[in-house]
Structure 1
Amino acid sequence: MVKMKRNVPIIIRKLNILLKRLPFNQPKRKEVDEYLARQMAGLRGEQSMDYFYRYLPQEKIEFLHNIRILHQEYYFQMDTLIITPNFILILEIKNIAGHIYFDNLYSQVIRLHDGKKESFDDPIQQVERQAFHLSEILKIKKVPFIPIETLVVITNPKTLVESAPGHTDAVNRVIKSADLKKKFDLLTKKHTKVILSKMEIKKVNRLLNKLHTPYNPDVCSLFHIDKNELIKGAFCPDCEDIILHRTKRSWYCTNCDQHFKKAHINALIDYALLISTKITNNEFKDFLNLPTGSISYHLLHSLNLPITGTTKDRTYLLNSLLDE
């Protein structure tokens, strides 16, 4: 089993909620949808690698996924990091369909797919930069010098991969998923000196996790969307796109004729992810389309959320809802 659980990135969670609360005629909706599709394709590519990780020596190595670290005023992110006793391996994972061509003359990848030709940044250089920053971080943290190897992994088995004549970097460092074990074994034969003990590997793992900062942008700002445009209210958990009505003691869906007692909690989670992790009684009343402040106060108060401020300017903190 792979030793570190891969969580769904919070950016994907936020984008799904943003699409749910964007009006269908909002001009940015298509852009958000396409961005989410790219994020999901990347995640599926990374998840597909779990099958091939099984063939690596699990008892000797540690895996880290989507580690993002600040260095020289910018963040660098590694899809998968494999720490072994002899070397560290960074995998840049690409779930790309079609026919791709690695062009070293202009440091680009050219893709032909569905009759469309387009250019991408060279992932070989991308992962080389990651290796540079990682080596600098390890040096700063006084980790014993250990070789860092890099690979670009194409996860779509139907993708046709070609490279320019003489492009040795592409030949040596671009692989399909199924070739990971073979390449790993070659790297193990290349690096025979043991640098890190089992305890030191775990120490490096903890260090990098401690330095990790997830990519967690304000998605409304990212797409220049006014937060006042977001659809307000509590959504039906079953119908998904239906706004519920508040009855005396619950939320009612006119579409499926069901009552829900805690639908406002999901709405608060949406608010925390899209707008703010702090909310006042009036803001809650407005976002849930509640008729009176007393109803909003009762619902908020019943959640036992941490609060700041006095009774008059009380603010409820929503972070705890995101951990549930």
Structure 2
Amino acid sequence: MSKIELKPPVIIKKLEVLLKRSSPTSHKRPQILESYRRFKAGFSGEQSLKYFYRYLPKDGLLFLPGLRIMHDEYYFQMDQLIVTPTFLLILEIKNLAGHLYFDDKVKQMIRTLDGKRECFEDPIEQVKRQSYHLNQILKQCKFPAIPIERLVVITNPSTIVEFSPSYKEAFARVIKSAQLHHKFTLFQQKYQTSILSSKEMKKISKQLFKLHDAHDPDVCDLFQMDKHELLNGVLCPKCDQPFTMYYKGANWWCLNCPHKSKIAHIEALKDYALLISPTITNRECKYFLHLPSTSITTHLLKALILPYTGSTKSRSYNLLPLLNLK
């Protein structure tokens, strides 16, 4: 079994920073918060499945999470793809609370929660399209034809799942997390002829990751927010009062609590890279961090040893290396 590395999608961090940097009175905040909670819940659902993956065979499996690939001018994304020698398995993972009803008449999923009914696209249709696009990609890359199975996994253990009586496919494709091992065993019994060698499995993995294009949207554009409306300044890491730090005597000092720091500006520059631009000039940095002088700004930027372009006056620093810092 390959090591499963689940990293939070960058949009979660971007939305978290956008909430931090948007005005508390902004009418966009409820929309941003809802999107943030949805992405967080989705990622939590994917993480929770790691517990059940351990009941699958220890050898001969490759896990390829979060693949997003362009095909026919549009992207398709798979929450999890499991590669075995005899079949491929796509998992569409849903972390939804409440009561879910799958209706085959109009191909929809209806969620009832706290007396409110919501309509979602049928995830069975979603995973069916993913299977089609994946099959086409594998054909184009001239890999051996291999069966592709698909499941919709409901990860919230308290969720009630119900199907319209005639929706036979839903009975077969929609499962709770604890059923994954049983379903996987049935697929193993169904497909017993090895099609992919270990080498071919690795080639498929390498090719799909080569085609992978992570979802990394400009969240300000996504919510039609003017970047000039964002709150600038440096946030104190020790108290709840935002953007109360000022720079003096080679330290950042908080106006609200006794905390001081030499590196508090780094987190603010990460925010800038995530929301505004991956590059920053001396002038932009001075304004964003509320620094008292150009010379101090230059000193702080140079101390970070960031890649840069341009001469001294027009120098632009690349902030992306900061995003790899913990």
> Is residue 62–residue 83 contact of structure 1 (8 Å, CA) maintained in 2?
yes
> Is residue 241–residue 256 contact of structure 2 (8 Å, CA) maintained in 1?
no
> Is residue 104–residue 166 contact of structure 2 (8 Å, CA) maintained in 1?
no
Deviation, 1:158, is 1.2
The within-5 A match list for 1:82-161 is 82-161=82-161
Deviation, 1:31, is 0.5
Secondary structure of 1:59's counterpart equals coil
1:316 has 2:317 as partner: yes
CA distance in 1 between partners of 2:240 and 2:322 (Å): 20
> Is residue 2–residue 53 contact of structure 1 (8 Å, CA) maintained in 2?
no
Q: Deviations over 1:252-311 (max 9, x none)?
A: 012221110011111111100000001100000010011211111111111111111112
CA distance in 2 between partners of 1:233 and 1:163 (Å): 52
Q: Which residue matches 1:299?
A: 300
Secondary structure of 1:58's counterpart equals coil
> Is residue 102–residue 110 contact of structure 1 (8 Å, CA) maintained in 2?
yes
The within-5 A match list for 1:183-194 is 183-194=183-194
CA distance in 1 between partners of 2:298 and 2:144 (Å): 56
Could you tell me which amino acid in structure 2 is paired with residue 34 of structure 1?
A: E
TM-score if structure 1 supplies the norm length? 0.98
- Identify which range, 200-209 or 92-101, moves more after superposition: 200-209
CA distance in 2 between partners of 1:191 and 1:299 (Å): 60
Q: Which residue matches 1:270?
A: 271
CA distance in 1 between partners of 2:85 and 2:311 (Å): 55
Q: Which residue matches 2:199?
A: 199
Secondary structure of 1:111's counterpart equals strand
CA distance in 2 between partners of 1:80 and 1:13 (Å): 21
CA distance in 2 between partners of 1:137 and 1:280 (Å): 42
Q: Flag as ranges the 4+ runs of structure 1 deviating above 6 A.
A: none
Aligned residues: 324
Deviation, 1:190, is 0.8
TM-score if structure 2 supplies the norm length? 0.97
CA distance in 2 between partners of 1:306 and 1:97 (Å): 46
> Is residue 92–residue 127 contact of structure 2 (8 Å, CA) maintained in 1?
yes
Q: Deviations over 1:142-180 (max 9, x none)?
A: 111111000000111111111111211101101110000
CA distance in 2 between partners of 1:237 and 1:205 (Å): 40
> Is residue 2–residue 61 contact of structure 2 (8 Å, CA) maintained in 1?
no
Q: Which residue matches 1:163?
A: 163
Q: Deviations over 1:210-235 (max 9, x none)?
A: 11111100000000111111111111
> Is residue 55–residue 181 contact of structure 1 (8 Å, CA) maintained in 2?
yes
Deviation, 1:240, is 4.8
Q: Deviations over 1:3-52 (max 9, x none)?
A: 13100110001111111111100110111001100111111111110010
- Identify which range, 86-95 or 309-318, moves more after superposition: 309-318
Secondary structure of 1:109's counterpart equals strand
Could you tell me which amino acid in structure 2 is paired with residue 288 of structure 1?
A: L
> Is residue 242–residue 255 contact of structure 1 (8 Å, CA) maintained in 2?
no
Secondary structure of 2:207's counterpart equals helix
Q: Which residue matches 1:78?
A: 78
Q: Deviations over 1:43-99 (max 9, x none)?
A: 111111001000001211010111111111111110011000000000000111111
CA distance in 1 between partners of 2:229 and 2:258 (Å): 28
Q: Which residue matches 1:27?
A: 27
> Is residue 82–residue 90 contact of structure 1 (8 Å, CA) maintained in 2?
yes
> Is residue 78–residue 90 contact of structure 1 (8 Å, CA) maintained in 2?
yes
Could you tell me which amino acid in structure 1 is paired with residue 32 of structure 2?
A: V
- Judging changes above 3 Å, is the alpha-carbon distance between structure 1 residues 240 and 136 closer, same or farther for their aligned structure 2 residues? farther
> Is residue 272–residue 278 contact of structure 1 (8 Å, CA) maintained in 2?
yes
CA distance in 1 between partners of 2:259 and 2:2 (Å): 42
CA distance in 2 between partners of 1:212 and 1:14 (Å): 20
The within-5 A match list for 1:158-237 is 158-237=158-237
Where in structure 2 are there 5+ consecutive unaligned residues? none
Identity of aligned residues (%): 54
Q: Which residue matches 2:50?
A: 50
CA distance in 1 between partners of 2:240 and 2:94 (Å): 32
